[in-house]
Chain A
Amino acid sequence: MGSATSDPPAAAPPDATAPSGRKPLTDAAETGLKIVVVGGFGVGKTTLVRSVSEIRPLNTEEVMTQAGVGVDETGSVTAKTTTTVAFDFGRISLNDRMVLYLFGAPGQERFWFLWDRLFSGTLGAVVLVDTRRMDDSWYAIDRLEHHRTPFVVAVNRFDDDTARHSLDEIRQALALPDHVPLIDCDARVRTSGKTVLVTLVDHLYQLALAQESAS
């Protein structure tokens, strides 16, 4: 996560055709698409979103009401709990008609119920990994496999990571099947973030191609 700078709330602009800093989509925009970036806290999800987004990443919240079991660890016996979950997102206009939204989703176990509901219909996911805290990635990978959401794994190489594990070592440590693409990235760099997205969509394309030729 990047540093949380707080901006003043956007007041209703006097000239609503040009709200401060807002960059509207083209009027032909008709198809919204979603890709989710998951990973543990501090792994660089927002940094990745920011590096490729055409807008400054925005933050929004959802209040989720859910049967209490398994949602949080308070052990509450109330029938329902309300949890507020924040997530960041960015945007890429692919062409006049198609716009891709990138969501940075919290990877912690207790947030996954939100993931299921909010992020249904995603093209696929990027699992962002910090090799110093690989434990954080296991749960995300497990849930993606469970939901059959296609994904790639991107290792965000931090400058102060002295171990420098090879991708082979990381694949083994994550018990990642051979068919799942695994790449290095620097989430701060636009071209690197772009490569991660291209790797994911190329992977999705290959999966769709195989499925179409099989049917």
Chain B
Amino acid sequence: MTRRPVDTGAPDRLYTVTGGRSRADDSFDLVTLVVAECGPTAGMQSEHVRILDLCRHPTAVVELAAELALPITVVRILLGDLLATGTITARHPRLGQTAASHPDTALLQEVLHGLRNL
């Protein structure tokens, strides 16, 4: 298991990474799948470059956070930047963020089928 300190003793680093911002784009769920739409360009912030590299294939927000060793909130801020410039697209989960949205039987049947085939 990968277990490493993310922000221990280095709040400055997180401040620098986000340019001092602390408000994240809430539209990114933990399991939103992110896909790069183009490669990194010259002069891009190194964290943005790494995200675009990691997202050559669909990659969940939570996996990005683990790979980048950054807190989820920071990753959401960085993803918001990339989304705004059209360099990534986001595939959001079908189940909404509200408790009211329950999975339907068709979806659950697919999940059961997948689990039984493990």
Closest A residue to B63 using CB positions: A58
Determine the chain B residues whose CB is within 8 A of the CB of A17 once the complex forms: 56
Q: Which residues of B contact A214 (CB under 8 A)?
A: none
- Within the assembled complex, what's the spacing in Å between the Cα atoms of A9 and B73? 20
Taking chain A's interface residues, is the majority helix, strand, or loop, or is none over half, making it mixed?
mixed
A46 within 8 A of B: yes
Interface presence of B20 (CB below 8 A): no
Number of residues on chain B facing chain A (CB within 8 A): 55
A204 to B58, CA, bound (A): 27
Chain A residue with the shortest CB-CB distance to B95: A121
Q: Please, which residue of chain A has its CB at the minimum distance from the CB of B32?
A: A32
Cβ–Cβ contact A205 & B33, under 8 A: no
The number of residues on chain A lying at the interface, defined by a beta carbon within 8 Å of a beta carbon of chain B, is 70
Interface residues of B in 87-118 (CB under 8 A from A): 91, 93-99, 101-105, 108-116, 118
Instruction: Pick from B30, B56, B118: contact of A194, CB below 8 A.
Output: B118
| B53 on the A face (CB < 8 A) | yes
**Residues of chain B within 8 A of A31, CB atoms compared:** 33, 91, 93-94
- A residues within 8 Å of B by Cβ? 2, 4-7, 9-10, 12-13, 16-17, 19, 22, 24-27, 29-34, 46, 50, 52, 56-63, 65, 84, 86, 88-89, 91-95, 98-101, 103, 118-123, 147-149, 190, 194, 197-198, 201-202, 204-205, 208-209, 211-212
The 3 closest A-B pairs by CB, nearest first: A94-B114, A32-B31, A24-B57
8 contacts between A and B (CB under 8 A): A56-B2, A62-B71, A95-B110, A99-B60, A118-B30, A197-B115, A198-B112, A209-B105
**B interface list, Cβ under 8 A from A:** 1-4, 6-7, 14, 22, 29-33, 46, 49-50, 53-54, 56-60, 62-63, 65-67, 69, 71-73, 91, 93-99, 101-105, 108-116, 118
